[in-house]
Amino acid sequence: MKVIVLGAGIVGVTSAYQLAKMGHDVTVVDRQPGSALETSFANAGEVSFGYCSPWAAPGIPLKAMKWLFMQHAPLILRPKVDMAMLSWMAQMLGNCTSARYAINKSRMLRLADYSRIALAALREETGIAYDERMQGTLQLFRTDAQLEASAKDVKALAADGIPYDVLDPEGCIRVEPALKHVREKIVGGLLTPKDETGDCFKFTTALAAKAEDLGVRFNYGSIIRGLDVEGGRVRAVVTAHGRLEAEAAVVALGSFSPLLVRPHGIRLPVYPVKGYSLTIPITDASRAPESTVMDETFKIAITRLGDRIRVGGMAEISGYTNDLGEPRRLTLQHSVTDLFPGGDVSKASFWSGLRPMTPDGTPVIGPTTVAGLFLNTGHGTLGWTMSCGSARVVADLVSGRKPEIDATDLSVARYS
């Protein structure tokens, strides 16, 4: 079929690659001059197959209230008269129960583990290098309360057969030797050893080149105006440069996906939650992390990417704004220098991106009420983690095949 993929981030490019492998005639459309130049550009670098949890969890509403008054808050809320924001927040609060948490986390772990297998296969077949490491994620606890609260995650990991290890401070230092300099700040950790790290931008741009080798066309610098739908079926994508005829279209526009599909009666509860990152050159390898350390106190990931450290995190609910606030930079600097003192943060580059979040934390993958129109969006902080598995699922669905994992509860129909 003639398939158009809307969006050239990590989710769009992996989707295009898998569709091309299945023999489809694929065109990717994106407003940017190249691939991975928005949310995929400088994310935290985690590929978190095990450290994979919904933000909507029991106790989060109370924590959120406390976070709003912290100097280095993991959550920043800038409320406004925005019905999409208010509806999304209300739905998220509705998912902050033990029962919903268990369901949502199980969905996420299922897709993430499938993506682990898909990424390994893709890496082997393409030989792409992207500063990858396979040394796990260490969720670091500074308080006994944090350690005790991790019991629900341990239970979910065990139920889904995901390897993990609960560590004491000495165990944390064995995994991440540089933490020996801050031993007194650590009470324990949760290691998910199957997790990986890597530069999402490097991976996406390299895979886009491989996709071009398979015949995929990339229409960069092309603003998408809308969809042409006739008789309940998608017929074309309308861009600033004209119409692109299509037998199927895959929407992988991240936070902007709801704006495109809303005129066609599709209610997609995806909302932008801004995250920030610093990229810092490593000046002393003995004081840098080996893989990813997740600072549970500030919800900030500190990841080694080759000769750099990527520090990423925070959740700012402020709509479609992408400004860089100096207080956010100071929070990232505080976390990384507190755990890994000695780095030169004056040389860091500062970035922000809009994560496409769903209220339940699970992405939306699958068909819509418009024939030929498919979604692959709403991955939140886990687009890099889930991209390769999501691409396989959506490529199977577009091709009329049954996916290798159960994807029935991933579609937008779960919100109807």
Please report, for the domain that includes residue 242, its CATH number: 3.50.50.60
13 is in an annotated binding site: yes
Task: Specify if 71 maps to a domain.
Answer: yes
- The reply to whether 300 sits in an annotated binding site is no
17 annotated ligand binder: yes
Query: Bridge-partner residues for 238, per DSSP?
Result: 226, 243
pLDDT of residue 70: 83
| CB neighbour list of residue 311: distance below 8 Å, 6 or more residues apart | 44, 277, 278, 279, 280, 300, 301, 302, 303, 332, 333, 335, 336, 348
- Look at residues 336, 357, 378 and tell me which one is the last residue of a structural domain: 357
Tens of pLDDT, residue by residue over 165-208, are 999 999 999 999 999 999 999 999 999 999 999 999 999 999 99
Q: Is 3 among the annotated ligand-binding positions?
A: yes
7 is in an annotated binding site: yes
User: With 90 as the cut, is the pLDDT of residue 81 above it?
Assistant: no
Check whether 5 is labelled as a binding-site residue: yes
Decide if 189 is inside a domain.
yes
What region, left, alpha or beta, does residue 339 occupy, with left being phi > 0 and alpha being psi -120 to 50 degrees?
alpha
Q: Is position 231 annotated in a ligand binding site?
A: no
Q: How many domains does the chain have?
A: 2
- How many Cα atoms sit within 13 Å of 148 on the Cβ side? 3
- Does one domain contain both 307 and 213? no
Q: What is the pTM of this model?
A: 0.95
Residue 395 assigned as binding residue: no
Beta strand 308-317 pairing with 271-281? antiparallel
> Are residues 341 and 404 located together in one domain of the fold?
no
123 within some domain:
no
At 51, the pLDDT band (50, 70, 90 cuts) reads confident
Q: Is 345 annotated as a binding residue?
A: no
Does 353 lie in the same domain as 303?
yes
What is the model's pLDDT at position 22?
98
Angle (CA) 162 168 171, round 5°: 75
Tell me which of 357, 392, 407 is where a domain ends. 357
Which regions of 168-299 does DSSP assign to beta strands (E)?
188-192, 196-197, 217-219, 224-230, 233-239, 242-245, 248-251, 271-281, 292-295
Q: Cα 285 vs. chain centroid, distance in angstroms?
A: 27
Question: Is position 124 within any domain?
Answer: no
Residue 315 has pLDDT above 90, yes or no: yes
Write the CATH number for 343. Answer: 3.30.9.10
Cα–Cα distance, 133 to 198 (Å, whole number):
6
* Whether residue 237 sits in one domain with residue 90: no
- The whole domain housing 411 covers 2-41+202-269+361-415
For residue 164, say whether it is annotated as part of any ligand binding site: no
pLDDT, residue 7, reads 98
- 6 belongs to an annotated ligand binding site: yes
Indicate if 193 and 278 belong to the same structural domain.
yes
Domain annotation covers residue 56: no
Is residue 15 part of an annotated ligand binding site?
A: yes
Determine if residue 364 is labeled as part of a ligand binding site: no
Give domain status of residue 244, yes or no. Answer: yes
| DSSP 3-state of 235 | strand
